[in-house]
Amino acid sequence: MAEQIPNEKTIDDTIDLLKEGYLYIKNRTDEYRINLFETRLLGQKAVCISGEEAVKIFYDPEKFKRNGAAPKRVQKTLFGENAIQTLDGKEHIRRKALFLSLMGPDAQQRLAQMAAAEWEACIPKWEKAVRIVLFDEAKNLLCRAACRWAGVPLREEETGKRAQEFMDMVYAFGAVGPRHWKGRMARTSAEDWVRGIIEDVRADKIKAEDGSVLKEMALYRDKDGRQLDAQIAAVELINVLRPITAIATFITFAALSLLEHPRYKGWLEGGDEQRIEWFAQEVRRFYPFGPFLGAKVRKNFTWNGYEFKKGLLVLLDMYGTNHDEKIWGDPDVFRPERFRDWNGSLFNFIPHGGSDPSRGHRCPGEGITLEIMKATLDFLVNKIDYDVPAQNLNIPLNKIPTLPESGFIIQNVKKKT
């Protein structure tokens, strides 16, 4: 059987991965009409898998582990070293419970309401501005809201710098050269800042509110009753602030989708919450953000006729699964109503990973993301009018992560009456 599994017979396919970006895995699974193939990336053998059945095995903790899967260059930029992303087993489940306890429905609503209030507060300034780059506004606004929500002190004049650092970490993923180094410098600077705050909370120099994300992270104890090293606590607190800021990317895609599909503006007017939610879900499915996820085989097993050997690197295609025609029928059509019929599976819609977040690595911030997107969509559709001037809205699929080139410029903003 194993001979039938396609193999990219190259010395190393990293250059093709860089050239094809989000489409690298999908191009091959489409061409071979199979949901796995073997390749070599960054000097090692790897197997790429895609589709709902692939998601199910990828999230089986008996088969896969995360420790040792993420390259150092990703840990030094996007994740941080010794972060939750690299943990397995009981230690992971325990730390994950901390994250999830801070991100329940009430906390989601509180943050979304803060974001909504911040958007409304932008209107007077925007009405006077010649042009507004939505991505830049969103990242600063979300960084400010994230810090306030988490109880992290942030001076207004510092907001732009910290927001940029968080985005530089995100946009270092998949980068080589200057973009990678920018991400490393951003991480060092942000970790120094946040570690200082954690130490001040522990020394009682900063009074953190009971139940706040800041206090819970600073005082969290592992299963042996030990506090996290201040450096690791900083990495984990950044693991909350950075991705909230990064929702700016989805917000930019949401604004673009309103422009590209103007009939949905009318559909969303009036603020029907169900429609707004379907629209936000479709933005998360349709546009490229997370490309793929990596894990290492924990112990030998066979799947679809292929022998997965202990230690093998496996990449799960997120973008391809969100565009799999077996799941979505017409994946390249932007159609929010499709979520009316979606079966709610934990394994077929994976912009934030798959399976149950309390048992595996699926993102704990999915609810926050959705609520912030809904609040922002309501603002863009129901609270303001604006024009979109000619600009470069191309989304390069060979850049990971990507974004409309212009960052989405709007002008002539007016408050709706």
C-beta separation of 377 from 254 below 8 A: yes
Q: Which two tokens stand for residue 73?
A: 């260059």
Question: Could you tell me the smallest distance in angstroms from the CB atom of residue 37 to ligand HEM?
Answer: 21
Residue 329 DSSP SS3? coil
Query: Which residue is it, tokens 């798959």?
Result: 354
For ligand HEM, give the closer residue by CB, 64 or 264.
64
* CA atoms of 161 and 78, how far apart (whole Å): 17
Considering only residues 317 to 376 of the shown chain, the ones binding ligand HEM according to CB under 6 A are: 351-353, 361-365, 368-369
For ligand HEM, give the closer residue by CB, 126 or 349.
349
Handedness of CA 143, 146, 150, 151 (dihedral sign): positive
Considering only residues 233 to 292 of the shown chain, the ones binding ligand HEM according to CB under 6 A are: 239-240, 243-244, 246-247, 250, 289-290
Q: Distances from the Cα of 24 to the Cαs of 17, 30, 103, 122, in angstroms?
A: 5, 10, 34, 40
For the sheet containing 384-387, what is the strand order? 132-133, 409-415, 384-387
For ligand HEM, give the closer residue by CB, 23 or 248.
248
* CA atoms of 326 and 52, how far apart (whole Å): 9
Q: Does 138 bind ligand HEM (CB under 6 A)?
A: no
Q: Does 84 bind ligand HEM (CB under 6 A)?
A: yes
Q: Which two tokens stand for residue 235?
A: 């990495």
Considering only residues 292 to 321 of the shown chain, the ones binding ligand HEM according to CB under 6 A are: 293
* CA atoms of 349 and 324, how far apart (whole Å): 10
- How many residues belong to the site for ligand HEM (CB under 6 A)? 25
Question: Could you tell me the smallest distance in angstroms from the CB atom of residue 199 to ligand HEM?
Answer: 21
Question: Could you tell me the smallest distance in angstroms from the CB atom of residue 108 to ligand HEM?
Answer: 9
Interface pattern 98-137 for ligand HEM (x via CB under 6 A): -x---x----------------------------------
Q: How many CA atoms lie within 13 A of 112 on its CB side?
A: 22
Q: Does 85 bind ligand HEM (CB under 6 A)?
A: yes
> What does the DSSP 8-state code read for residue 22?
G
For ligand HEM, give the closer residue by CB, 126 or 331.
331
Residue facing ligand HEM at closest CB distance: 365
Handedness of CA 358, 362, 368, 371 (dihedral sign): negative
Question: Could you tell me the smallest distance in angstroms from the CB atom of residue 2 to ligand HEM?
Answer: 27
Which residues contact ligand HEM by CB under 6 A? 84-85, 96, 99, 103, 239-240, 243-244, 246-247, 250, 289-290, 293, 351-353, 361-365, 368-369
